[in-house]
Each structure stands twice: as structure tokens, then as C-alpha cells.
Amino acid sequence: MPTPSYTALVTGANAGIGLELTRKLLAEDWQVIAVHRSGFSADDLTIHQAIQSRQLRTYTVNNLADYDQLRQVLQMIKHHEQQIDVLFNNAGGSFAELAYSKQGREMHYELMTVVPYIILMELKNLLQNSRLHTVINTSSAAVKYTKAINNEILERPKTFRKLVGPYATSKLALSLWTQAAAPQLAKEGILIRSVDPGSNNTLRKEKKSGLPWFVRPLMKFFFAPPTHGADQLYQGAVGEHREKSGIFVSKGQMMELKFQEQAPEILERLNRIYKQEFLQYSQ
């Protein structure tokens, strides 16, 4: 009897690294649950064949950082899906200016630090029902540029710098809570890691960039294609570090994080947000 295929959930699945990761998973015969903001290209025959065969199941949500929309899409996933072997918390982006979510927190932080935590907490049962029960949080090498971090800086930054400002601190916070949450998740049978996908050319003409002006030409000519980032995330899930939890992986190696002493407070704040803001209005 053939071994059942694994199932992955990928957020941000319709563009950039998320799209290439979705393609890679499908090619490796995984079942894929795609959470995306807009539809897949009509010209992508492989994707549409996978949708028709139900190997790829899609869930559309316009704004993951809006808790009403997030709550709705998570309820749909829990209703229709049976298991998740690997949760790829990949959705994100760098914004061109300071912006705030519907809940009143800085948008990078809300989307790339808080929302992945909520998704994990809501989908724990599906992870526990699987064989790999693994979470991969997409981090960034930009974490090394962070000069200071705490909950106040994350939620209401007083200054804004493209890439090395709220984007970098939010990615560092993501990796720090990944580290802090790992011991308790291990008791529940779940492994979690954060992975830097490396420098990838994910520029899109129709999207206003949150990159500094000097990075854009470098990205166009010198950065790897998104297939590189997809491979880094995939290897982060099933490669040599697959039995480890709480680690940050960059260029295939485990790396130390800055400001580890802030990790417990960051995690505690996320748990309060989840319980007091997300769960309270889910009843």
C-alpha cells in the first residue's frame, strides 16, 4: 500500500516564495492547503490542474491582519481539512511607510509576528493529527540589523526605516517567539523552527515597495530567484534540522539570535493578544 502524502499549509501561496514553495510541494506529491490574497495566474496550468484534482485546496483572504477575516478563513480550514504536517507561516512583506492594522498595531508586527502565532494556536489540532507536526516560520537575515526590541517598539514604533526598521524587528520577534514557544509546543508534540529564506528577487511591478532605493537594483540583478527561498523553507521543514525545535536557520545553519532575553515578554504579549482580542470575539 502506498504511503499517504504529506499535507502542507502555505500562507502567501500565490506569489513570490510562497508560490514557488507551493509548486515545489506539489511536485513532491504533497497535498497543499494554500492561503492567499488573490487568485493564481490563469496561465499556470500546473497549479490549476492541482486545484481540479484537489491536490491543491485554496482559501482566499484579503487581509490576514484583519481578525474578522482571519477568524473566518481559519474556521473554514478547520471545517474542511483533516491534518497539517507542516504549517508554513510565510505571508508577509515590506511596506513603504508606517501603517497600522485594524487592531491598532504596526502592520509589519501584526502580519508577520502576531498573525503567525494566532494561526499556529488555532491549527494546533490539525498539526497534532499529522505525522510531521511541524511549523516553519519565515524569518529574514534582516534580523541582524535590529538595534533594540521590545513590545512597545514592535507595536508603536516612533521611527520608520525601510527594511531595517519595523520589518526587521518584526522578523526578529517572530524568531524570538518561535524559540520561546518551542518547549511547551514540544510537550504537545509539535516542532517549530524559523528559517531565513535568503536574498530572493520578489519584486512585483504592481506593488509599492518597502525596500530602500539602493536595494531594488541589487535585488533585480544579484538576488536569487524565489525558487531559492522556497527550497530553503522546504529544507527547513524536512532537511537535516527536522528533529530540532526552537532554532533559527539561516543558509542551512543554526544561528544565534540577538536579544534572546526579550523572547519571553514577546511571547507573553502575543498570548494575551490571542486570548483577549482574538478568542474573546470568537464566541
CATH topology classification for 7-279: Rossmann fold (3.40.50)
Mean pLDDT of 94-120: 96
**131-150: average pLDDT:** 96
Residue in 118, 161, 114 with CA at minimum distance from that of residue 142? 161
Please report which confidence band the pLDDT of residue 226 belongs to, taking 50, 70 and 90 as the band edges: confident
List of residues 6+ apart from 150 with CB closer than 8 A:
262, 265
For residues 100-109, give the mean pLDDT: 97
Please say if the pLDDT value at position 217 is more than 60.
no
- Gap between the Cα atoms of 183 and 58, Å rounded: 32
Output the pTM of the full model: 0.92
At 154-180, the pLDDT tens digits run 999 999 998 899 999 999 999 999 999
Report whether pLDDT(122) > 60.
yes
Residue pair 129/186 in contact by the 8 Å Cβ criterion = no
* Length of the chain (residues): 283
Query: What are the structural domain ranges in the chain?
Result: 7-279
Question: Taking 90 as the threshold, does the pLDDT of residue 281 lie above it?
Answer: no
**Confidence category of residue 53, pLDDT binned at 50, 70, 90:** very high
Q: What is the mean pLDDT of residues 78-106?
A: 95
Predicted confidence at residue 150, as pLDDT, reads 97
